Every structure is written in C-alpha cells, then in structure tokens.
Amino acid sequence: MLSKHRGEFFLILGAFIFALSGIIVIVVLKHLPAFRLAEFRSITAVVILGTYVLFTRPELIKMVRSEIPRLGMYGVVGFAMVNFGYLLGIQRGVPIALVLIIEFTASIWIALWIKFVRKAFVARDMWIAIALSLLGLFLVSKAWNGFTFDLIGLAGALGSAFALAGYFLMSEKIGKTREPIALLIFGMGFASIFWLVVLPPWNFPFEVFTKQMDLGGIAAGVLIPGWVMMAGAALLGTVIPYLCVLTGTRYLGASTSSVIGMLEPVMAGAFAWVWFGQSWDAIQLIGAVVVLFGIYLADRAKSQAHS
C-alpha cells in the first residue's frame, strides 16, 4: 500500500510540474521553433543528469552491447517520437486540443496490448476509467472548436499516441532493472542523437539565449532573459517531471500511470485560467470532474488487481 501511494504521489507531482512548465514553454515557443526546443530539452537533460551520475553513481549507466537496440528504441520512440508527433500535429494546423485528445488515447492502446499481446487481465473498471478520462479531456479541451483536418497532422498525433503507449510499456519493463534516473539518461540520450541527426546543431538559433522574453498574462511586461527561460524549460519541463513519472510508473505500471497522466492537461488548463485569464465554462468544469473520476476508477482497478 505504501508503494502504491508513493507511485500516485510521483505521478501526480509529475503531471503538476509538466502542466506548470507549460507556461514557460508557451513563452519560449514565441522565440524558438518547436522542434528546436525539443532538441534542446533532450540534450540539456542528458548533460545535466549524465554529469551528475558520472560523478556520483557511474555504475547506473553501464550497459552491454546487447542492450543498445532496446535502449535505442526506448529513447527514439518513447521520447523523441512522442514530441515529434505532437509538435508535427500542431505545426500542421491541427488544434492543440485535438492533438492532445489523440495523444492520450495511449491508455487505450496500452490496455489492448496488455489484454491481447500479454494475454493478461484488464479490469472492467480500467476500461471505464479510460473512456471517462478521454471523454473528460474532450470536454475540457472543447476539441470541436476550430477543427482542422490535415491528414499528415492527424497521423502525427496518432503516431504520438502509439509512441506514448510504447514509452509507458517500455518504462514499466526496463524500469524493473534500472533506476529512473538511468532510464531518463538513456531515453534522452538516444533521443538527442535522433534530434542531432534531424536538426544539425550548427544551425541552432543561439540568439534565443540573449533575447528578453515577456512572461505575458498576469506578468505581462515582465522580461526574463532567454537563457533563464530555456533553463526553466529544460529543468521544469523535462528533467524533474520525467523523473517523477518514471518513478511513479515503476510502482503502478503502464496502464494506471497513463490514465493518471491525463491530469496534466486538466492542470494545464487550470494554470492557463489563472495565468492567462483563459476562464473555463461549465462544460470544461464538468470535463475536469469526469477526468478526475476516471483517474479514481483507474487507481481503484489497480488496487483490486493487487488485492
């Protein structure tokens, strides 16, 4: 029971920090292309965590040659492709809300994988939880507003969903023998290699670090140096929340973790409400309640499975 609550704590904390960092990301994306931000976050995470581990516990990141394909797949699919598909959808003009809904169908693909590939039991409450959480997200985001059909963009969003499912499933499996910080270093390390091939570093717009960025919203007019905002996007938007999610997944497994992860867009909407004055209407508030109830059912289903 203690490990269960510990897993819940880390997953909720991770969703909270991811959502909070969204304010920083929104500001930074006004000055930097989305794919370049994904590249910077991956490389920075590897440098920070890799340096720390090398000087403290280098044995954590030792690996044999036979592990390279699996860890490479984990990094490229679980980290790079999740961001790639998500950002591709946005850049092609698909509304962010719809991209988000499609991405979080990952919980469905995880449940189907567990039932039909692993041949394991999936509780009825888990299916209900997934349906309710997706319905709640649909209401919170009001995805029917401003729908734009773009085949490539929608394919990117769906690819992000499959990649997110792979991220949770691989994190659950590899996490049985690896520490969360090692998982993040390997994942971000191979993701960084992918980004460096796709986006050569010599073309990076380094002037972003010297720009003054307006925080906007309730802090409109407050200017922060670009390097501070970039550091915040790397630490609060990548290193800390990913460590929390990986730790929580280790305790609760892929299916429950993916549903609890749906807290992130709900919290992000709440932060946008406070910071940017983007108030919610009755439909969105109902959606938030539905998501929370879905998460409760998923957590209960996990508890029953272990009782």
Instruction: Name the residue ranges covered by the structural domains of the chain.
Output: 2-111+141-268
Beta bridge partners of 225: 212
Q: Is the dihedral of CA 167, 169, 172, 175 positive or negative?
A: negative
194-207 residue pLDDT tens: 999 999 999 999 99
pLDDT score recorded for residue 307: 45
Query: Please, where are the H alpha helices in the chain?
Result: 2-28, 34-56, 68-75, 82-91, 96-103, 106-116, 124-141, 151-174, 180-198, 226-234, 240-252, 254-260, 263-276, 282-306
Reference 165, options 88, 235, 81, 50; nearest CA is 81
pLDDT score recorded for residue 306: 47
Phi, then psi, of 225 in degrees rounded to 5: -55, 145
pLDDT score recorded for residue 135: 87
pLDDT score recorded for residue 116: 86
pLDDT level of residue 261 (50, 70, 90 thresholds) = confident
72-81 residue pLDDT tens: 999 999 999 9
Give the integer Cα–Cα distance in Å for 215 and 204.
23
Choice between 34 and 149, residue whose per-residue pLDDT is larger:
34
Give the integer Cα–Cα distance in Å for 277 and 225.
24
Q: What is the SS3 assignment for 115-136?
A: HHCCCCCCCHHHHHHHHHHHHH
